[in-house]
């Protein structure tokens, strides 16, 4: 079989034929043998100006480029490509266009495509190892492939958004994700969680997009809400159930549990019963914060029952946690309003300071809870996304490059149309 037949079989290099092939064992970064293929231009084959695309046969000079090609069998493969500078009648001397090799690339287009494909499913480090490339090279290839595939962010038609933060480094740095909850498409990701950090999203949405936004679901933190109101005054703000209940857990249940443990510790009579109750309360944070339906082990159920029976305050805040969740179950604002008044009355009359404070606070936020009747949205979709983000962070080695990392996130959540 002749070289030109093999070339055709391999897919070829348009305009070139094989002049020589050399194989050397070992010697590469991966320990694989190395093949070097020397190409030469096909005689009489037209060349094209890379600027205007015009065909010409006038060659100014030729330089040999050494570039990576896809491995052949087990060997790391290199090409020696004599690339000409042509004398274009319109543009003067320009480098000839090679559709399979970009101007400054150190590898063929199909090799880069292969790297990008593998980078979709494997960590950058492993792809780099596999091909004997550097981490940065693989990242750069994956980056431009993603950028080309995803294009600029298109926010036309966005009517509702879910907005939430995630931790980049536990407890230190945060980023904000904006998602279309109806399609689960990630619309935007940015560093930080302050007002000015999310401002670029609204800039991207543009005046018309901001005006068309109907609703935004979020936690009760001020930053997201204020920034949303500033750009989209007509949009309805909906508070996410999960976040409100988590806040209740932190500010009410945790507080009461600690207060009660301390109170029992200070009690004048250290009888066996007090000590026993104190010990029960101490190790039960998870039991109180968990959904009742998720407490399944019989021993845990007994423990929870005993705990609530032994302490009135804990019992009250526990029961009101369940009642609080129910506020999100209403479809009619009037019914929701009624349920709220009842809940608020219970909370105030309990005279448990953290609960009273929480209820007073929440009263100001009531519209954001009742808004759920018209826009039954939640940020739950972001929980799953944030879990995937953690996996992507491991794969891409996280935030070394924000632009790259955010592209990976967008690629993972293109949305269901």
d(CA 253, CA 318): 7
DSSP state of 37: E
Shortest distance (Å) from residue 91 CB to Zn ion = 3
- Considering beta carbons, is residue 99 or 367 the nearer one to Zn ion? 99
Task: Compare residues 51 and 303 and give the one whose CB is closer to Zn ion.
Answer: 51
Q: Are 331 and 338 in contact (CB under 8 A)?
A: no
- Sole residue written with tokens 């015009």: 54
Q: Which residues bind Zn ion (CB under 5 A)?
A: 49, 51-52, 54, 88, 90-91
State which residue, 51 or 393, has the beta carbon closest to Zn ion: 51
Nearest approach, Cβ of 92 to Zn ion (angstroms)?
8
Reference 135, options 381, 411, 408, 401; nearest CA is 401
CA atoms of 123 and 140, how far apart (whole Å): 14
Which of 102/113 has CB closer to Zn ion? 102
Beta bridge partners of 37: 21, 79
Structure tokens given for 105: 């690339």
Q: What minimum distance in Å lies between the beta carbon of 90 and Zn ion?
A: 5
Residue 328 CA to residue 36 CA, distance in Å, equals 67
- For tokens 């506020």, what's the residue? 327
For residue 106, the minimal CB distance to Zn ion (Å) is 25
Distance CA 84, CA 91 (A): 15
Q: Where are the beta strands (DSSP E) in 261-370?
A: none
Q: If you ran DSSP here, which 8-state letter would residue 220 be given? A: S
Q: Nearer Cβ to Zn ion, position 88 or 119?
A: 88
Closest distance of CB 47 from Zn ion, Å: 11
Measured from the CB atom, the residue of 86 and 339 that comes closer to Zn ion is 86
Nearest distance from residue 41's CB to Zn ion, in Å? 18
Closest approach, Cβ 65 to Zn ion, in A, equals 20
Nearer to Zn ion, 55 or 323 (CB): 55
Specify whether the CB–CB gap between 277 and 317 falls below 8 A. Answer: no
Q: Which value, in Å, is the radius of gyration of the alpha carbons in the chain?
A: 32
């Amino acid at each position: 079989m002749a070289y030109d037949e093999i070339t055709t079989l391999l897919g070829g290099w348009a305009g070139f034929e094989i002049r020589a092939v050399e194989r050397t064992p070992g010697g590469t970064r991966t320990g694989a043998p190395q093949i070097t293929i020397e190409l030469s231009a096909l005689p009489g084959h037209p060349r094209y100006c890379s600027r205007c695309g015009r065909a010409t046969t006038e060659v100014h000079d030729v330089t040999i480029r050494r570039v990576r090609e896809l491995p052949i069998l087990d060997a790391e493969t290199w090409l020696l490509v004599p690339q000409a500078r042509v004398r274009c009648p319109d543009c003067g001397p320009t480098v000839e266009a090679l559709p399979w090799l970009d101007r400054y690339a150190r590898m063929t287009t199909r090799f880069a495509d292969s790297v990008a494909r593998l980078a979709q499913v494997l960590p950058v480090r492993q792809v780099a190892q596999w091909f004997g490339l550097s981490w940065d090279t693989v990242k750069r290839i994956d980056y431009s492939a993603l950028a080309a595939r995803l294009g600029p962010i298109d926010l036309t038609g966005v009517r509702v958004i879910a907005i939430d933060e995630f931790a980049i480094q536990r407890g230190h740095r945060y980023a904000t994700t904006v998602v279309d909850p109806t399609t689960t498409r990630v619309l935007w990701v940015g560093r930080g969680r302050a007002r000015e950090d999310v401002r670029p999203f609204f800039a991207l949405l543009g005046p018309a997009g901001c005006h068309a936004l109907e609703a935004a679901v979020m936690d009760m933190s001020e930053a997201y809400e204020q920034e949303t109101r500033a750009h989209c005054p007509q949009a309805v703000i909906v508070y996410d159930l999960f976040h409100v209940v988590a806040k209740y857990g932190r500010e009410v249940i945790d507080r009461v549990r600690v207060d009660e443990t301390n109170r029992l510790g200070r009690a004048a009579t250290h009888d066996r019963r007090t000590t026993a109750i104190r010990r029960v309360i101490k190790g039960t944070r998870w039991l109180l914060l968990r959904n009742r339906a998720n407490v399944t082990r019989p021993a845990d159920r007994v423990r929870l029952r005993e705990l609530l029976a032994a302490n009135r305050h804990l019992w009250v805040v526990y029961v009101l946690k369940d009642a609080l969740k129910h506020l999100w179950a209403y479809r009619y604002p009037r019914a929701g309003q009624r349920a709220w008044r009842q809940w608020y009355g219970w909370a105030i009359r309990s005279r448990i300071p953290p609960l009273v404070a929480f209820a007073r606070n929440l009263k100001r936020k009531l519209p954001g809870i009742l808004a759920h009747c018209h826009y039954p949205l939640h940020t739950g979709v972001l929980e799953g996304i944030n879990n995937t983000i953690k996996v992507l962070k491991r794969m891409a080695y996280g935030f070394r490059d924000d632009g790259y990392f955010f592209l990976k996130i967008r690629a993972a959540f293109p949305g269901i149309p």
